[in-house]
Amino acid sequence: MAQLEHPSAADEELPLERIQELLAQLKGAAPEDVTWELGIHIETLSEALKESAAHQRGVEEENRQLQERLLGERREYVELRASMDELLNLHELSETISSSFDIEDILASLIDLSGRFVEYLSCGVFALDEQEARLVPLTLRGAPGLVERLEAQWEDGIIDWVMREARPVVIEDMGTIEQLDVAKRSTVVVPMIVRGKQVGVYALYCSRAKDEFTAGEIELLGVLASQATIAIENSRLYTDLEATHTQLKDSQQQIMLSAKFAAIGELAGGVAHEVNNPLQIILSRVQLMTLQNKDQPKLVKGLELIEHNVKRISRIIRALLGFAGHNAKESEWEQFDIAQALRQALALVGHQLDKGLIETSFECDDDLPLLTGHIGELEQVFINLMINAQNAMANGGALKIEVCRVDQQVEVRFADTGSGIASEHLDHIFEPFYTTRAEVGGTGLGLAVSYRIIERHQGMLTVESAPGEGATFIIRLPLSAVEKEGEE
């Protein structure tokens, strides 16, 4: 019987090759000997296969865990990126809010930033008009039709419900749900509320079904709208504060002017009367001497110079008398047609304006109410403002006179195309004796007297101007008591 070779250490490392050798020797060996050694190698191979399979499963598990970790890290990266985008959007909106009080800029930033993560067909911001119980569009962007959708939702009470909920709501477009071949569409309605006050809504009409919006998108829209709402409210408060400050400044200036007018007027009235009488004597004597000395040209020239300056002083005296209030009493006031008074004043200076190449236009609202006052004094103001406009347009220009009713007042505007008034003169333009035309005989009393007359009529005289852009003098006169009673 042939002897079988016993397995060596090398054979144990390669049982598969040894098994093949044993199978080749099987023909001449006893079956039991071959079976014994073959069993040993098969068992060794089986163990090796088990270890290999276990190792393979371990590798697969490690790969699976690695893939899960990579997927998790990717999700975290995507979420982190989304969070960073949200922060960037909020940061950009905050920068806009902090750098601008312009409502249009704030709304434009809100819409631009929203469009980065929510694609819309149309969107807009609507203010809530509580008095008229309706939504007023502040800004719109995209396809038309959003206003009509919001109006329909307002009438159905949906907007009121959204306001009460105080959170963004997605409303499906029922018209697209019923049509199978049309993409689903929805409207996102975001309430704009600040300190418990309902300001309006921010609406986006999107080509997405209701369930396609993520909670993060809706939440971010709410945050952006909330920030924009606060900015809009702050902008309105700032505008109101600025208007109040301007009004207070104007009131203080009027009080100071009134006090100055009263003091100067009292003094001027007394001085004017005392100076006027001897001045007339001087003037008459100078004129008499001029007639008596016609044959002495040098003396006549000096006398004419004296006469010219005496007449100038006389004009100042007359202006002082008018400024001091030695004019019509309120008992002499009567109702009058302001449009007719303006036409009469324009007729008086029309030839002078034409001569100065001034093109005039007159516009007047129909059915203006009658006013109460002294028509002669007011015509004096109108003429003075027209002459001032002519003086500002030495090379010709245009003077536009407009009359209209504004609430409980009648407003008259004199707009010229002259050289305008420098900012350093605007605050002093109505002060007595303040003039920019001293070199051509300006006394600085024309506008002061006009201001005083309008003030006595319980009105206001203001000016708007900038260098090189002309000037607009604005008179505001209250309606007469008769007119107000008739309206009541």
Quick one: 116 and 56 in the same domain?
A: no
Helices (H) and strands (E) in the chain, counts: 14, 12
Extract the runs of DSSP E, i.e. beta strands, from 46-196.
122-129, 134-142, 169-172, 186-194
Rounded mean pLDDT of the chain? Answer: 78
**Range of the structural domain that residue 175 is part of:** 103-242
- Strand-pair category, 186-194 with 197-206: antiparallel
Arithmetic mean of pLDDT, 28-33: 56
State residue 121's pLDDT score. Answer: 92
Token look-up 């010229």 returns 416
> What gap in Å lies between CA 122 and CA 131, rounded to an integer?
27
Among residues 63, 90, 117, the one where a domain terminates is: 90
Local confidence band at 249 (pLDDT 50, 70, 90 cut-offs): confident
Q: Which amino acid is at 435?
A: T
Angle between helices 215-292 and 31-99 (to 10 degrees): 20
Q: Which amino acid is at 97?
A: I
* Contact between 386 and 353 (Cβ < 8 Å): yes
**In this structure, what CATH number is given to the domain that contains residue 338?**
3.30.565.10
Question: Any residues with CB less than 8 A from the CB of 65 and at least 6 apart, and which?
Answer: none
Token look-up 């009131």 returns 251
Tokens of 182: 């049309």
* Contact between 143 and 231 (Cβ < 8 Å): no
Local confidence band at 64 (pLDDT 50, 70, 90 cut-offs): confident
Any domain includes 109: yes
Any domain includes 234: yes
* Contact between 120 and 146 (Cβ < 8 Å): no
Quick one: 223 and 364 in the same domain?
A: no
Report H helices in 393-457. Answer: 423-426, 446-456
Quote the number of domains for the chain.
3
Q: Sheet containing 197-206: which strands, arranged edge to edge?
A: 134-142, 122-129, 197-206, 186-194, 169-172
Tokens of 282: 């001087």
Q: Cα-flanking dihedrals φ and ψ of residue 369, to 5°?
A: -75, 160
Bigger pLDDT: 275 vs 404: 404
147-151, 306-310, 337-341: the lowest-pLDDT one:
306-310
Any domain includes 408: yes
Any domain includes 271: no
Quick one: 148 and 11 in the same domain?
A: no
State residue 361's pLDDT score. Answer: 92
To the question of pTM greater than 0.75 for the whole model, the response is no
> What gap in Å lies between CA 469 and CA 398, rounded to an integer?
12
pLDDT digits (tens, 9 = 90+) for 113-142: 888 888 899 999 998 887 777 888 989 998
Local confidence band at 477 (pLDDT 50, 70, 90 cut-offs): very high
Is the pLDDT score of 91 beyond 60? yes
Residue 324 CB neighbours (<10 A): 22
Of all residues in the chain, what percent carry a pLDDT higher than 90? 12
Quick one: 147 and 225 in the same domain?
A: yes
State residue 377's pLDDT score. Answer: 83
Arithmetic mean of pLDDT, 301-318: 79
Task: Considering only the C-alpha atoms of the chain, give the largest distance between any 2 of them, rounded to a whole number of Å.
Answer: 182
Residue 184 CB neighbours (<10 A): 16
> What gap in Å lies between CA 442 and CA 273, rounded to an integer?
21
Quick one: 356 and 479 in the same domain?
A: yes
pLDDT digits (tens, 9 = 90+) for 331-350: 568 888 999 999 988 888 88
Arithmetic mean of pLDDT, 476-481: 78
Quick one: 86 and 134 in the same domain?
A: no
Beta bridge partners of 363: 402
Any domain includes 472: yes
33-42, 211-220, 221-230, 330-339: the lowest-pLDDT one:
33-42
Among residues 62, 90, 118, the one where a domain terminates is: 90
State residue 182's pLDDT score. Answer: 59
Question: Any residues with CB less than 8 A from the CB of 468 and at least 6 apart, and which?
Answer: 419, 420
Bigger pLDDT: 484 vs 245: 245
> What gap in Å lies between CA 369 and CA 335, rounded to an integer?
10
Arithmetic mean of pLDDT, 253-277: 64
* Contact between 378 and 313 (Cβ < 8 Å): no
Token look-up 């371990």 returns 58
Is the pLDDT score of 169 beyond 60? yes
State residue 202's pLDDT score. Answer: 92
Is the pLDDT score of 452 beyond 80? yes
Q: Cα-flanking dihedrals φ and ψ of residue 126, to 5°?
A: -125, 130
Tokens of 208: 């997405």
Quick one: 69 and 107 in the same domain?
A: no
State residue 57's pLDDT score. Answer: 84
Among residues 219, 242, 265, the one where a domain terminates is: 242
Is the pLDDT score of 151 beyond 80? yes
Arithmetic mean of pLDDT, 201-216: 89
Any domain includes 12: yes
Any domain includes 260: no
Quick one: 476 and 343 in the same domain?
A: yes
Any domain includes 67: yes
pLDDT digits (tens, 9 = 90+) for 373-419: 888 888 888 988 998 898 888 888 999 999 999 888 999 999 999 88
Tokens of 113: 């930033």
> What gap in Å lies between CA 112 and CA 97, rounded to an integer?
14
Q: Under DSSP, is residue 389 helix (H, G, I), strand (E, B) or coil? A: helix
Degrees, nearest 5: CA angle 327-329-333 = 110
Q: Under DSSP, is residue 136 helix (H, G, I), strand (E, B) or coil? A: strand
State residue 52's pLDDT score. Answer: 82
State residue 2's pLDDT score. Answer: 43
State residue 481's pLDDT score. Answer: 43
